Amino acid sequence: LGDVATQGLEALARTRGLEAYPTPFLAIDLDVLDRNLGKMQGFFSERHARVRPHVKSHKCTAIARLQLAAGAVGVTCATTDEVAAMVGAGIDDVLLANVVVDALRIGRLVQSARSARVTVAADSSEVVAAYSAAAVEAGATLGVVVDYDVGMHRNGVETVEEGLALGEEIATSPGLELRGVMAYEGHLVAIEDRAERSAAALLAFAEPLALLHELRLRGHAAPMLTGSSSATHDSTGALSEMTDVQAGTYALMDANYRRLAPEFEPGVVVVASVLTARAGGALVLDAGIKRLSVDWGKSKLLGYAAEHRYTAEEHCVFRHLDGPLPRVGERVALLVGHVCTTMSLYRSALGCRGGELECVLEIDGRDPLA
Ligand SMILES: Cc1ncc(COP(=O)(O)O)c(C=O)c1O
């Protein structure tokens, strides 16, 4: 890659203290993390919306606390396990930007809502009824946002009328509080041209905005409009009605997302050992799919000219191109292709600062059964 941001990451593999840990493992540059958090907070310091980081990207309560300390208003989660971990760690304002149907999971969610301000997404009468029954049984108040499908075709109501009807249902259901509208423009995040991406994302928010206004016209407080991402925080996040920006990847960044949001630096690597090193031939590392996700983009070997060939269960296979060749047994740094799915493959990560191991970060928001 050769840019300044990744040069520091090469050195992460050689951080003092890491030699006590067998490869492969995750190493995080805490200085980079701090800079990314500061940059995102800085962008919103004079804007209406607040940052509500999506912790699905790291599933780590310690990193979430750093995000709050940097100025985040609360956190966004993707699963009830993440919600339980965040609330258990004392974070008192949590959005679950997802729909939940499993009765046991709804049960856990309303338990979390007994001790924290918890808000969840809904897109059907069935889930609203299930949330309401569980909240009443637990004696909790559960906040709900109407999830609006702006084109990703995952969850969400599809018209303003549908959203209004659901909003009325939420507002009149015992145990629930209508908190507003959520919309996630995930299908637009990877548009390469930033101006084109911004224009498409802003256009996508016309309907959720119309729904929000209509709900307010009908007398609902509906204070929240939440959505956006690391790659669109500067467009949808800057909307005057946006309240909570759900950016996730910006905190640690990765090889693939970086082209979409280059203002954030990659801050995490998988440290692996070289198993095979042949000049102009195979360069094989001891980290495979079980430690390195392959769903979105390839991992990049830092510090050496090598082309990724494939990732197997326990091996990542490159072809050495030219220049220096690492030694067999040498520890090298891999910039991960997709940070969110790689983090969830580990129980902990090693936090480094200034060439020293500083702490072990527990990735404690994972599903305990997974
Ligand atoms: C519901 C939701 N909101 C926001 C995001 C934005 O995350 P990122 O900043 O990683 O693109 C995601 C990403 O998957 C998401 O699923």
pLDDT in tens, 89-140: 999 999 999 999 999 999 999 999 999 999 999 999 999 999 999 999 999 9
**34-35-37-39 Cα dihedral, nearest 10 degrees:** 160
- C-beta 189 within 6 A of ligand 1: yes
Cα distance between residue 53 and residue 32, in whole Å = 16
Cα distance between residue 360 and residue 336, in whole Å = 19
* Atom 1 of ligand 1: nearest residue by CA position: 97
* Atom 11 of ligand 1: nearest residue by CA position: 229
* Atom 2 of ligand 1: nearest residue by CA position: 184
Cα distance between residue 91 and residue 65, in whole Å = 8
Per-residue pLDDT tens digits for 266-320: 999 999 999 999 999 999 999 999 999 999 989 999 999 999 999 999 999 999 9
- C-beta 36 within 6 A of ligand 1: no
In the prediction, which pLDDT does 2 show? 54
Q: Tell me the CA–centroid distance for residue 19 and ligand 1, in Å.
A: 34
Cα distance between residue 30 and residue 201, in whole Å = 31
Per the DSSP assignment, residues forming a β-bridge with 360 are 350
Task: Identify the CA nearest to 296 among candidates 336, 346, 248.
Answer: 336
Q: Tell me the CA–centroid distance for residue 112 and ligand 1, in Å.
A: 22
Phi, psi for 158 (deg, rounded to 5): -110, -10
- C-beta 184 within 6 A of ligand 1: yes
Question: Which one of 43, 54, 96, 232 would you pick to mutate in the ligand 1 pocket, going by the greatest count of ligand atoms within 8 A of its CB?
Answer: 54
Q: Tell me the CA–centroid distance for residue 97 and ligand 1, in Å.
A: 9
Q: Tell me the CA–centroid distance for residue 104 and ligand 1, in Å.
A: 25
Question: Which one of 37, 56, 229, 341 would you pick to mutate in the ligand 1 pocket, going by the greatest count of ligand atoms within 8 A of its CB?
Answer: 229
Q: Tell me the CA–centroid distance for residue 81 and ligand 1, in Å.
A: 17
Tell me which residues of the chain have a pLDDT lower than 50.
1
- C-beta 331 within 6 A of ligand 1: no
Tokens at 58, concatenated? 């790291």
Q: Tell me the CA–centroid distance for residue 56 and ligand 1, in Å.
A: 8
Task: Identify the CA nearest to 252 among candidates 121, 141, 351.
Answer: 351
Tell how strand 268-277 and strand 331-335 pair up: antiparallel
In the prediction, which pLDDT does 304 show? 96
Rg (CA), the chain: 22
Mean per-residue pLDDT over the chain, rounded: 97
